[in-house]
Structure 1
Amino acid sequence: MSTQRKTRVLVVDDSATSRRMLSGALRGEPDIEVVAEAADAFSASKLIAQHRPDVITLDIEMPKMDGLAFLRHLMKHQPIPVIIVSSHTPSGSALSLEALRAGAVEVIPKPVDPRSVVALASRLKTRIRQLRASQVHPRPTPRVHATAGAAHLKISRPVSGLIAIGASTGGPQALEALLTQLPIDTPPIVIVQHMPALFIRLFAERLNEVCPMRVVMATDGEPLSHGVAVVAPAGHHLIVEHQGGRLRTGVRRGPPVGHQRPAVDVLFHSLARLRRISVVGVLLTGMGRDGADGMVALRRAGQETIAEDESSCVVFGMPREAIARGGAVHVVALNRIAATIVKCLDRAPKP
């Protein structure tokens, strides 16, 4: 019989109905225990000191101190994995995206009807167990000004190639920090970020506001261009194909791969099939192993590959798998990845 301690969860929500729903969803699980409930941030602070929870579920819109301000305070003084359980309103979506930037490890939409409570319960329990199985180091997005960060990085000559980036938990912070360090004239960038459909377009818009290059949602058959980064849409795989003398995006519904759609593996494998195109594949923080097989394929195809080092990962899962399988040519901390990408591009064959 296992004597492993249960994962302690603190539920923070100003709605008594929501607190009952969330606590009820977790009640009776042999490995999860709701240690307390709080209706506001100040009560939550006292309960954190008293119960030392392993995971917090947090509503964004609360009285006294809003959830976002509380989250930032928590990440600064006492980082604990936080799962945001948010509303479906447009304003709620924007706030939830900001919460990911502030250090939340996941955003789960609140159910809109009783039938969706079961789905929420399943997803919440799965995520809590994944967090327990992983070494999680929550941290907010570093405050870096795009032009200041990218000014010293220059690509020394024209490059016919592209950059591919995959990320999951902790990815919104890592991607923003990385892209703001790359020069504006960077080769095309293709991105897979695991994120709920409700937030991915807002995430791309946020990146477009703060990054030197243009950031857009991927559409099927779109030519890739220098100075443009494309983000895989929710619920669709992103691939790159050589058509009509141009590199073009492909957006495919397809079945999930490794429980993910979009999957980093699908993107990386499509790039490994390209010929006479230089690729730099980058795998950032995230749970699980998505992207590890694809990174191995890229390296076997002679391409440059970079895995984020454990020291800067929120969750050292996907990069660890890629490293363990021999897929990573370079293993570097997040603040050195942009410079490593530029060095890889400078070594690429001339177009």
Structure 2
Amino acid sequence: MIKVLVIDDSPLIRMVLTEILQQAGDIEVVGVAEDPYEAREKIKTLHPDVLTLDVEMPKMDGISFLKNLMRLRPMPVIMVSTLTKQGSPVTLEALEIGAVDFIAKPSVNVASQLQSYAELLYQKIRVAHKAKLRPFKPHDDKDVTVVNEFKAFSSQAVLAIGASTGGTEAIKEVLIRMPTHCPPIVVTQHIPPVFSTSFALRMDKTCAITVKEAVDGDVLKPGFAYIAPGDQHLKVVRRGTQLHCLLDNGELVNRHKPAVDVLFHSLVESVGKHTSAVLLTGMGSDGARGLLALREVGAHTFAQDEATSVVWGMPRAAFEMNAAQALVPLPKVCQQLLKSAARN
């Protein structure tokens, strides 16, 4: 049984989350806490495997508690967040500190949606239980060294990144090292709509390159990274001599929209062997078939290694179907992508 401690100042949310989790079969709610001080004591006595943590609470906010927790006693945390413009930057900060994942607060007045919510919550708890954790260490992003060893790149090169659970921080680790003359970068991360906007803004402030949420018709330019909106697939299409972003509001693919496979398959047609693509941390197998299709047309394909992945699901699927030419530790991904796109 996976032992869970539910931390939320709302009695109703504590009750709803407890009732949902107790029905999973392999998950046991060993306790609840209404604030971080009560949570701290219950962690010592109940020894939970996973925490669900509210962002806004009395006495101490969730972010401050999470920083202390990940510094002193790292453990898997799922943030239970309000999926709004106000809530998204704080939740992204929580992922930066070390939370494994996040989920929306349950809509307790919409009974028809509770079953799908429950299945998603179970999945996130199970993944968090097995996730690799990293202690929180405050650092200055300005201290990161940009990869400047490659002076020129093929004019036809495009870099592509796909990720899911743990991906916001993994993508940051890649983009923050990119030089301003790098090839165009396209990114699909499994993320809700409002969060993709906040994530792109956060990356743009952090990185030397320009990072933006992709807009339909955007022309791909060097030194730019284009992040798929949280509710649309991102494709790359060729129009004459230029490459453009195309947003597609089609069906879910591999239960996701945006889906990594959609992006990678579009690159097979539009960029082909000039693509350098990597599949980063995430649960499931989205992106593996697309990466294989890219490899089969001569593109450079990579997957993050197990040791540096929060969840080695998507990269593992790619590795097992021989879609990736190499497994690469996260700190080396940027260099590997640039090396494969460098002009000899």
- Structure 1 and Structure 2 fold alike (TM over 0.5): yes
Task: Name the structure 2 match of 1:7.
Answer: 2
Name the CA distance, whole Å, in 1 between partners of 2:99 and 2:271.
Answer: 39
Task: Note closer, same or farther for the CA distance 1:313–1:178 as it changes in structure 2 (3 Å cut).
Answer: same
Name the CA distance, whole Å, in 1 between partners of 2:19 and 2:342.
Answer: 56
Q: CA deviation at 1:238?
A: 0.7
Contact 1:292 1:318 in 2 (8 A): yes
How do 1:214-293 residues align onto structure 2 when only pairs under 5 Å count?
Answer: 214-274=210-270, 278-293=274-289
Q: CA deviation at 1:147?
A: 7.0
Moved >4 Å (runs of 4+): none
Question: What one-letter code is carried by the residue in structure 1 that aligns with 2:183?
Answer: P
Task: Name the structure 2 match of 1:169.
Answer: 165
CA offsets 1:21-50 (integer angstroms, 9 cap, x no match) = 211222233211100111111221222222
- Higher mean C-alpha displacement, 121-130 vs 219-228: 121-130
Name the CA distance, whole Å, in 2 between partners of 1:17 and 1:31.
Answer: 23
Name the CA distance, whole Å, in 2 between partners of 1:237 and 1:245.
Answer: 23
Contact 1:101 1:173 in 2 (8 A): yes
Task: Name the structure 1 match of 2:19.
Answer: 24
Question: What one-letter code is carried by the residue in structure 2 that aligns with 1:128?
Answer: I
Q: CA deviation at 1:126?
A: 3.0
Name the CA distance, whole Å, in 2 between partners of 1:177 and 1:97.
Answer: 14
Contact 1:255 1:261 in 2 (8 A): yes
Q: Does residue 72 of structure 1 match 2:67?
A: yes
Task: Name the structure 1 match of 2:209.
Answer: 213
Task: Name the structure 1 match of 2:124.
Answer: 127
Name the CA distance, whole Å, in 1 between partners of 2:82 and 2:171.
Answer: 25
**Correspondence for 2:29 among 26, 31, 34:** 34
Task: Note closer, same or farther for the CA distance 1:147–1:183 as it changes in structure 2 (3 Å cut).
Answer: farther
Q: Does residue 296 of structure 1 match 2:292?
A: yes
CA offsets 1:84-138 (integer angstroms, 9 cap, x no match) = 1112453322211211222222221214551066143332123223445xx3113
Contact 2:273 2:297 in 1 (8 A): no
- Higher mean C-alpha displacement, 214-223 vs 103-112: 103-112
Q: CA deviation at 1:275?
A: 5.1
- Residues paired across the two proteins, number: 340
Contact 1:164 1:190 in 2 (8 A): yes
How do 1:105-184 residues align onto structure 2 when only pairs under 5 Å count?
Answer: 105-112=100-107, 114-115=109-110, 118=114, 119-132=116-129, 135-139=130-134, 143=139, 145-146=141-142, 148-150=144-146, 152-160=147-155, 161-184=157-180
Question: What one-letter code is carried by the residue in structure 1 that aligns with 2:45?
Answer: Q
**Correspondence for 2:57 among 62, 85, 91:** 62
**Correspondence for 1:193 among 189, 195, 201:** 189
CA RMSD of aligned residues (A): 2.0
Task: Name the structure 2 match of 1:3.
Answer: none
Task: Note closer, same or farther for the CA distance 1:275–1:231 as it changes in structure 2 (3 Å cut).
Answer: closer
Contact 1:309 1:319 in 2 (8 A): yes
Contact 2:229 2:258 in 1 (8 A): yes
Name the CA distance, whole Å, in 1 between partners of 2:321 and 2:74.
Answer: 31
Name the CA distance, whole Å, in 1 between partners of 2:143 and 2:154.
Answer: 22
Q: CA deviation at 1:347?
A: 5.5
How do 1:312-351 residues align onto structure 2 when only pairs under 5 Å count?
Answer: 312-346=308-342
Contact 1:144 1:177 in 2 (8 A): no
- Higher mean C-alpha displacement, 288-297 vs 76-85: 76-85
Q: SS state of the match for residue 137, structure 1?
A: coil
Question: What one-letter code is carried by the residue in structure 2 that aligns with 1:62?
Answer: M
**Identity in percent:** 41
Q: SS state of the match for residue 225, structure 2?
A: strand
Q: Does residue 204 of structure 1 match 2:200?
A: yes
Contact 2:211 2:226 in 1 (8 A): yes
Name the CA distance, whole Å, in 2 between partners of 1:179 and 1:219.
Answer: 19
The runs of 5 or more residues in structure 2 that have no matched partner are none
CA offsets 1:175-230 (integer angstroms, 9 cap, x no match) = 11111111111110000011122311101100010011111111112110011100
